[in-house]
């Protein structure tokens, strides 16, 4: 690669298009149930934290915190598999193989939580994960099993397609450019509705390939701001969020690496739903974990100098996402104004989205 190579912002933001590999799965909790939360007390869901980690040996580690609760039963496949007190850490083994292993945390008071490992293990994608499973500022929870985020879908196997069919995927929002879509078209189960929501557009800005790591970092920061205020970006994300407001169940959105354009979509969704910023950031940064093996392999195949320049484009970093939130403040004054002016969400749509995706 020479310093005169020209790339579009789309190429820079999808620098991991050639990568393969599988990261270790991990997950957080979601409550069981579905529907409006109007009038519900946050005390109805006593869990303040909960997580499932699926291990390579087929076991599951489950942790939780539920202040004020005396006993929590852990149930899977219709039977109790572990138990503990208000704070717990258990390992469960011997469960049959499943597309997703769900666990119910059943407290002695209040609503249960339903948990699954966050990653959806696929042969042809490394960053396909549940967008839900987070606690909001007021103690509600974002429902798992409804909305998914992922990297490219062009390498899905027939087995992967069967798994997506069983997951109930019904609509695919493709955030990529026309050239990306042409070179790596999505593979989808029959009947899934396909929606183009091109964040960058065919006339996306053109950049010189950075020659230093600092230039690469700045390019990613500038790119994040473009995803907030760019005309194509506003139209694309408005398409996604208006669709989610109508029906979020079985929806997925993706770009090439599932970390930049998809990362902003995920951060926006969680922020709209009232998830704390630190949790939003943790979800965004999780792409580094899920893509770790693939990114390391790509960098190892490059000369050291080139790898040093490429690494910031393969990473997600706090300063990248923070630049997006800074652009929201600079361009719109508040996130609420961004929801209305850029995403086009009115009060009714916001209520429907929260009623659909929040429980507790």
Q: Helix or strand or coil: residue 147? A: strand
Phi, psi dihedral angles at 81 (to 5 degrees):
-115, -10
In sequence order, the 6+-apart residues with CB closer than 8 A to the CB of 322 are: none
**3-class secondary structure, 20:** coil
Which tokens go with 153?
A: 């879908």
Q: Which active-site residues does the annotation give? A: 255
CA pair distance 268, 79, nearest whole angstrom: 37
Letter string b/e over residues 104-142, b meaning 16 or more CB atoms within 10 A of that residue's CB: bbbbeebbbbbbbbbbbbbebbbbbbbbbbbbbeebbbb
| Rounded Cα gap, residues 200 and 223, in angstroms | 9
Give whole-number Cα distances, 310 to 211, 232, 238, in Å. Answer: 9, 26, 31
With CA atoms as reference, report the closest residue to 65 among 139, 120, 138. Answer: 139
Token readout for 359 is 């429980």
Spatial distance between the Cα atoms of 321 and 265, rounded to a whole number of angstroms: 11
């Amino acid at each position: 690669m020479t310093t005169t190579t020209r790339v579009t912002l789309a190429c820079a933001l999808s620098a991991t298009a050639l990568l393969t590999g599988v990261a270790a799965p991990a997950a957080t909790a979601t409550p069981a149930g579905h529907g409006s939360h109007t009038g519900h007390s946050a005390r109805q869901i006593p869990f303040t934290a909960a997580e499932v980690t699926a291990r390579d040996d087929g076991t599951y580690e489950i942790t939780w915190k539920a202040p004020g609760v005396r006993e929590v039963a852990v149930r899977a496949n219709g039977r109790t598999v572990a138990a503990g007190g208000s704070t717990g850490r258990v390992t469960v083994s011997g469960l049959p193989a499943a597309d997703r292993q769900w666990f119910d945390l059943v407290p002695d008071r209040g609503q249960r939580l339903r948990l699954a490992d966050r990653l959806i293990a696929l042969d042809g994608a490394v960053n396909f994960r549940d967008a839900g499973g987070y606690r909001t500022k007021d103690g509600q929870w974002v429902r798992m099993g409804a909305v998914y985020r992922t990297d490219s879908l062009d390498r899905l196997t027939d087995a992967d397609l069967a798994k997506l069919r069983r997951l109930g995927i019904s609509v695919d929002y493709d955030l990529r450019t026309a050239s990306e879509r042409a070179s790596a078209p999505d593979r989808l189960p029959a009947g899934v509705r396909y929606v183009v929501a091109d964040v960058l557009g065919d006339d996306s800005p053109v950049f010189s390939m950075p020659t230093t790591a600092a230039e690469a970092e700045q390019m990613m920061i500038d790119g994040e701001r473009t995803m907030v205020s760019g005309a194509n970006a506003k139209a694309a994300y408005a398409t996604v969020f208006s669709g989610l407001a109508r029906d979020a169940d079985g929806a997925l959105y993706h770009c090439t690496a599932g970390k930049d354009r998809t990362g902003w979509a995920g951060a926006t969704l969680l922020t709209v739903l009232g998830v704390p910023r630190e949790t939003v950031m943790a979800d965004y940064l999780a792409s580094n974990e899920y893509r770790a093996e693939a990114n390391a392999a790509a960098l190892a195949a490059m000369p050291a100098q080139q790898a040093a320049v490429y690494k910031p484009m393969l990473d997600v970093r706090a300063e990248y996402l923070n630049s997006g939130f800074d652009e929201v403040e600079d361009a719109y004054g508040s996130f609420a104004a961004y929801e209305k002016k850029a995403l086009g969400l009115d009060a009714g749509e916001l209520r429907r989205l929260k009623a659909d995706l929040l429980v507790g």
